[in-house]
Structure 1
Amino acid sequence: MIHPRFLLAAMLSLAASLGHAAGLKFVHIADDADGPAIDAAVWSPCAEAPQKVKVKGTTVSAVLDCPIAAEKMPLIVISHGYGGWYLGHHDTAEALADAGFMVVAINHPHANHADMSEANGLKPLRRRPADIKRTIDFMLGAFPDAAGIDAQRIGFYGFSQGGYTGLVIGGANPDFNKLPPRCADPKAVNCPPSTSQVQTAGHSLPAESLTHDARIKAIVVADPLSVVFQTADSVKDVQVPLQLWASQLGGGAGASPKDIATLAGLLPARPDFRTVPNAVHFSFLTPCPPQSRNDACVDAPGFDRAAFHKAFNAEVLAFFRKHLIDRQQSQ
C-alpha cells in the first residue's frame, strides 16, 4: 500500500521538477513487411506556455508542433489497454515531457478505440510487442527529430494489455493457454458462451517467443494482463528494472489483483511493487472531465483520481529518472 505521506512527498517532488511545457505533435509510421501503419502522439519539452488543445474531443494541455531543441533526451514509449488510444494516458506523458523526456504513445493498429477490427483473438496480443519495436525503430530512424533522442535511455509505460506488452518486450513469454475464452468476432466486447471462440482454456497452444527489445532499460506497468504470466518460467528472462502497479479493487479482464501479486512474486528481479488503495482498474486512465458518463471514468466511492494521478506521475517520473538518467550518469 502507498502511505499518504509518501504520496505527498512524491507530489512535491514532481512539482519541483517541472520546468517546461509539453510540446505535442502527431506522427504516422508507415506500414511495412513487419506490420500495419501506426499512428502516434509525441510529447517533448517546450519553452512556450501550454494551451488547452482539443484532439478528437479530448482536451490536453500542450503546445502543438513546438520545435524540439533539446538533445539526447530519454525516450518513453506508452502502450494503451484494450480499446484505448494514444491520449488515454496524456497526463502522464505531459508530466514526463515537462521533466525533460521525449514521449511517444501509439494507437495499436486495428485494436484501438477508433478501430477495433482486429482487437480480439490472439493476433493483437502477438502483434503488440512488435508494434513497440517498430515504433522505437521509427523514433530512432525516420522521425525528423531522431537526433534529439538518446538511444541508450529508452523506457516503457503500459496499462492493462499495454502492461502485458511491456512485460513481453522486457523478456517475458506468455502462456496463452491461461487466457479465458476470446471471441472470434473482432468487434465483440464480451463473448457470450453461444458465440464462436478462437481459443478456450484447456486447449493446448504451442509455446511461443514473442518480440523482445533489449533497448528498453526501464519499464513501468499498471494493472497488466497478467493471467498469462503465472509461472516462473514465463518471466524468467525479465531482468530490466520494473515498477509494477496494481489496483486494490481490480476489474480488468485477466488483470486480477491476485494474479498481479503472483506475478510480482515470480519475477526474478524484485520489482518496485505498489498497490493503490481503493483504486479500480480504470483508475490508471487519465482523469476524466466533470460529469463524464463514460464507464472508464467511474472510480470507487471516495477515490480521488486527479489527486492520485499527481502522485502516480511523480513516482513514475522518479523511477524513470533513477534508471534512465541518474544511474547512467553515475556509470
Structure 2
Amino acid sequence: MGKYFFTCVLALAAACAQAGVGLTQLPAANGDGPVTVFYPADGTDAALKRGPFTIKALQDAPPVRGNGRLVMISHGSGGNPWVHSDLARTLVEAGFTVAMPQHRGDNATDPSHPGPDSWRLRPAEVSRAIDAVSRDPRFAPLLSLDKVGMYGMSAGGHTALSLAGGRWSPAAYRDHCVTNIAEDFPTCVGLSARLRGDALDGVKKAVATGVIRERYDDATWYVHRDPRIRAIVAGVPAAADFDPASLASPAVPLGFVTARKDKWLNPRFHSDRILAVCKTCTVIADLPDGGHGALLSPPPPIDVMGEIAQDLLGDPPGFDRSAMPAVDRKIAAFFSRHLVP
C-alpha cells in the first residue's frame, strides 16, 4: 500500500510538472470585446509575442481538467490581458481556468471612455464573459460555474467592488473630485494631465473640476450582482465613489491588495475608506513600498508609456518586484479556500 501510494504521488507530481498553460481567445460578440482565456493544458509552453510582451503558453491547446473553477480578471484603464498574465499563470497552476474580458472603451486598443462611462458597463461585461465561457464546448464540460472567482485591478478593482455588492454613482465621483482635486488629481483626470507645482496647476484644477461637474451629474446608485461570483479580490481599486456602507458586509468573501505608495489611486481615498468599515474583508497583501503598477505583472515596458503613465505606474524606489509572485500565490490561495471544492 505504501509503495503504491508513493508511486501514485510521483505520477501525480510528474503530471503536474508537465502541465502547461493554454491560451485562447473567444471572439467578440454582441458588442462586447473578445475574452482571453488561460487554462490548464498538457504540453510544454512556448514563447508567444503579444505586442511588447513575451509570455509562455500553449496557443489554442486542448484544455485538460483542473479544479473545475473559473476566475475572472477585470483589467485596469487602458489595460490588456498580458499585464495580468503572471497572475493568470499562478491561478492556472493552482487548477483554475482564467478569463479576461476586454472592457469596451477602456482598453489598450480603445481608451476612449475611461472612468464612470466604463464603470457602468464593466460588471455586466464580466457576467457576459462568464456566459461566453459556459457556451464554449472546450470549457463547458470541465467547469462548474456555480462558484466563480473575480479579480480586478484599478478600474477592474472598481468592477470587483461592484460585484461584491457595492453601490456607486457618477455624482459621488464628481463630489469626490470637486472636493479633493488637489490631493487626488490622478484619479480625476487620469493620464490627460498632471500637476507640476507651477502656475498652471490652478488652471488645470479649475478646468478638470468644470468638466467633471458638467459630465457627471447622474446621482443614480449603480449596482450589479451575479450570483455565480462567490469570492472577489480587489487590487488597488478605484473606490472613492462607492457608498462605504454598501460594502460594510460584502455579499461574498472580499480580499484586498493595497499599495502604500500608489500615486494614481491614493489608498486614503480608495481602498482604505472601504477597509475602515468592512467587517469581514481580508487584506491579502499590503505593499509598503508598492506603487499603482505593482500589480501589473509583467509590467509594461517603460518605453511604451508616456511621461505621466511612467510616473503613475513606475515602481517607486525601494520596491522589490521579486515579492510579487508570493502575492500572486496568496491571491490563488484565497480563491482556493473559498471556491474549491
Fold-level similarity (TM above 0.5): yes
Distance 1:50 1:28 in 2: 23
Q: Counterpart in 2 of 1:189?
A: 192
Q: Given the two structures, how large is their TM-score scaled by the length of structure 1?
A: 0.81
Of 219, 222, 231, which residue of structure 2 is paired with 1:206?
219
Of 234, 237, 247, which residue of structure 2 is paired with 1:224?
237
Q: Structure 1's 40 and 204: CA in aligned 2 closer, same or farther, altered over 3 A?
A: closer
What displacement does 1:175 show? 3.7
Is residue 45 of structure 2 the alignment partner of residue 55 of structure 1?
no
Say which SS state the counterpart of residue 120 (structure 2) adopts. Answer: helix
Q: Given the two structures, how large is their TM-score scaled by the length of structure 2?
A: 0.79
Q: Are 1:118 and 1:187, in contact at CA under 8 Å, matched by a contact in 2?
A: no
Post-superposition Cα deviations, 1:195-231, rounded to whole Å, max 9, x if no partner, equal 6955339976423233211211111111000111353
Which is higher, the Rg of structure 1 or of structure 2?
Answer: 2
Q: Identity rate of aligned residues, in percent?
A: 26
Q: Counterpart in 1 of 2:63?
A: 68
Is residue 24 of structure 2 the alignment partner of residue 25 of structure 1?
yes
Q: Structure 1's 54 and 199: CA in aligned 2 closer, same or farther, altered over 3 A?
A: same
Say which SS state the counterpart of residue 29 (structure 1) adopts. Answer: coil
What displacement does 1:70 show? 1.3
Q: Which amino acid aligns with 2:97?
A: M
Say which SS state the counterpart of residue 207 (structure 2) adopts. Answer: coil
Q: Which amino acid aligns with 1:125?
A: W
Q: Counterpart in 2 of 1:318?
A: 333
Q: Counterpart in 1 of 2:318?
A: 302
Q: For 1:235-274, list aligned pairs within 5 A.
A: 235-236=247-248, 238-253=250-265, 255-274=266-285
Distance 1:111 1:203 in 2: 17
Distance 2:25 2:215 in 1: 43
Q: Counterpart in 1 of 2:143?
A: 149
What displacement does 1:115 show? 0.6
Distance 1:263 1:257 in 2: 10
What displacement does 1:273 show? 4.9
Q: For 1:1-150, list aligned pairs within 5 A.
A: 19=17, 20-31=19-30, 36-70=31-65, 73-120=68-115, 122-142=116-136, 144-150=138-144
Q: For 1:160-179, list aligned pairs within 5 A.
A: 160-179=154-173
C-alpha RMSD over aligned residues = 3.0
Q: Structure 1's 203 and 319: CA in aligned 2 closer, same or farther, altered over 3 A?
A: closer
Structure 1: tracts of 5 or more residues without a match: 1-14
Structure 2: tracts of 5 or more residues without a match: 1-12, 179-184, 195-203
What displacement does 1:260 show? 1.4
Of 286, 290, 302, which residue of structure 2 is paired with 1:279?
290
Q: Are 2:248 and 2:279, in contact at CA under 8 Å, matched by a contact in 1?
A: yes
Q: Structure 1's 202 and 267: CA in aligned 2 closer, same or farther, altered over 3 A?
A: farther
Q: Which amino acid aligns with 1:274?
A: A
Say which SS state the counterpart of residue 194 (structure 1) adopts. Answer: helix
Say which SS state the counterpart of residue 133 (structure 1) adopts. Answer: helix
Q: Counterpart in 2 of 1:4?
A: none
Aligned residue-pair number = 301
Distance 1:316 1:173 in 2: 24
What displacement does 1:47 show? 1.8
Distance 2:128 2:210 in 1: 30
Q: Which amino acid aligns with 2:29?
A: A
Q: Structure 1's 204 and 118: CA in aligned 2 closer, same or farther, altered over 3 A?
A: closer
Q: Are 1:177 and 1:202, in contact at CA under 8 Å, matched by a contact in 2?
A: no
Q: Which amino acid aligns with 1:221?
A: A
